[in-house]
Amino acid sequence: MASQCAGRSDAAVRGERIARPWVLCAIVGFGVLYGLVHAGVRLAFSENLSGAVAFSNVFAQTLSLGYQERQPPLYEWLVWLVQQATGPNLVSFLLINYGLLTATFVFLYLSALRLFDDQRWAMVASLSPLLLYQIGWNIHEGVTHSLVMTCAIAASFWAFMRLSESGRLEDYVLFGIAAGLGLITKYGFVAYLSILLVCALFQPPLRARLLELRMLASVGIAAAIAVPFGGWLLANQHDLVQVFDSTVAPKASVRLTATMTGLAFAGFAPLGFLFPLNVILLVMFPALLRESWSLFKDGARLRWGHVRAEADWPLLLLHMTLAGLTFLVLGAVLIGASNYLERYMHPFFLLTPLLLLWIAAPDAPARRPVVIGAVLLTVTLAVVPIRAVNLALSMGPGCRACQLAVPYEGLADQLAARGIGGGTVMVMDRDDGGNLRRLFPDARFVLLRRPRYAPPVRPQDLTAPALVVWRLPHGESLPSLAAPAIREIGGMVVGAPTRVQVPWMPLGGASEPRAWEWMIARVEPSSAPQR
């Protein structure tokens, strides 16, 4: 592998590092158009929020050092910032998500320039994440913190390339900023950053950069960005071990069974994450497996003393891929980690498509990147009608959860009739909280199941009526979790909880409308007269 890279001319190397303005404009334009199309499809069916997006809409009421132990706060900070202009609605999340995706394309293109002589290959590499199921499909619904981590991985890898090439202080600063922001996206970024730095140590040019005194600037800036959230975790006595246990910890009671399950997932999860790009490349490049094996045998050796004037980026990507696989295997063997899902693989294999395309490029026909680009465009276009059908089914008569079809506007009318405009609204479900906040942007929302985060009580919250809202599956009696939130605003429950029904007609019609049911309890200041 190293010999292949070393064989390139200096002119070619210099040329590949030049970002062509027309290519950048094309990538950004594609990202904007891609976002507009998918945003339009989503808004055409429903403005409801669901899953992690609904959570974030509640958390983004305020700026806080932290909101939950499961996720660092950068995504919520972005939501808060954008919502200062858009309000707490679905549009704010669509702007953030597709903006982050477009930025990821740009950073991958700038990185791919260090790998490919041909601008066409660099462009294809930049858009290759769309041929990964977790990004090309799963990103459209509910993926939040993983997306901002994806952008941070692409940005930090590009910044590390710049640092390694120039050694300038400003590039160390840039890498520190990218790494620091990455550390407050998802905990998985720690694994990616560790793998990047450890693998870089095995190349003298990269090792020399890492051991320079200027690296302290990167470390200091990254720490300054990430440490406040770490302090918040400690101050609030959050248990990260428990977070780990709830994600990748053993799901089997027998350790041997958990280990064997983890080893199986360690083999299949990377393949699932890279699907369908890996299948497409194997079909288009039948020799890909043979070439990959040859490069693996050559590049798998960790040659501490390997001498080369410049960084060998393909070798680094290979080592990072192998290190990711090793990380998964050791997790299964040493601690019995078994819950390796494809959506957890971003820190380990997000950059692997760059390596696969680099392996395929040298012996490919001249027009092959155009063919891959056509395949990518075809798959991308096919996703749009498929997603539209999926959204329609999720709101049709046969839907199960039907979260996108919940008639929150009707519920909002019921709440408005009870005097809610500002004040406090206490909810049990994240979906109720996130969606009611988009309809009552001036109200204060408290998630009763997330007592660690609650927006501060405002003066008007002490004098305005408040409500406790919960779905009937939680029972008809007032949830006991509401008591602390009611005491916080100095209120008292007035009267008995009332049941409200909001009819809903499934998309495509039905024999009769369905009804969603909530319970509502009114809370008034303890000094106010009872009604």
The pLDDT value given to residue 244: 61
Task: Reduce the DSSP state of residue 446 to 3 states and report it.
Answer: strand
More confident residue, 241 or 179: 179
Q: What is the pLDDT of residue 29?
A: 96
Report pLDDT for 131.
95
Q: pLDDT (tens digit, 9 = 90+) per residue, 95-147?
A: 999 999 999 999 999 999 999 988 999 999 999 999 999 999 988 877 889 99
Q: Judge whether residue 341 has pLDDT over 90.
A: no
Q: Nearest 5°: CA angle at 166, between 119 and 177? A: 90
Q: How far apart are CA 23 and CA 4, in angstroms?
A: 26
The pLDDT, as a whole number, for residue 511 is: 57
CA 491 from chain center: how many Å?
Answer: 38
What tokens appear for 119 in the block?
A: 């601008």
Q: What is the pLDDT of residues 411-454, one digit of tens each?
A: 999 898 887 878 899 999 999 999 999 999 999 999 998 767 88
pLDDT of residue 474 exceeding 50, the answer is yes
Q: Residue 125: which of 320, 361, 382 has the closest Cα?
A: 361
Residue whose pair of structure tokens reads 């999340």 in the numeric block: 93
Predicted pLDDT of residue 242: 64
The residue assigned the tokens 């040019």 is: 205
* C-alpha torsion 302→304→309→313, nearest 10: 30
Would you state the pLDDT for residue 247? 62
Per-residue confidence band for 509, with pLDDT thresholds at 50, 70 and 90: low
pLDDT, position 8: 38
pLDDT at 301: 56
Say which residue, 500 or 288, is predicted with more confidence: 500
Residue 86 pLDDT more than 90?
A: yes
pLDDT of residue 254: 63
Q: Inform me whether the pLDDT recorded for 9 exceeds 90.
A: no
Q: Alpha-carbon distance 525 to 166, whole Å?
A: 63
Q: Tens of pLDDT along 214-263?
A: 999 999 999 999 999 999 988 877 666 666 666 666 555 566 777 787 78
Q: pTM for the complete prediction?
A: 0.91
For 133, phi then psi, to 5°, come to: -55, -40
69 sits in which H/E element? none
| Rounded-to-integer distance, Cα 257 and Cα 471, Å | 39
pLDDT of residue 297: 66
State the pLDDT at residue 454: 83
**pLDDT, tens digit, 9 for 90 and up, residues 357-410:** 999 887 777 778 888 999 999 999 999 999 999 999 888 877 777 888 899 999
Which residue is listed with tokens 């990147």? 369
The overall average pLDDT reported for the chain is 87
pLDDT tops 90 at residue 212: yes
Sign of CA dihedral 148, 153, 157, 159: positive
**What was the pLDDT predicted at 219?**
97
pLDDT given at position 418: 81
Residue 370: how many CA atoms within 13 Å on its side-chain side? 3
CA–CA separation, 174 and 107 (whole Å): 13
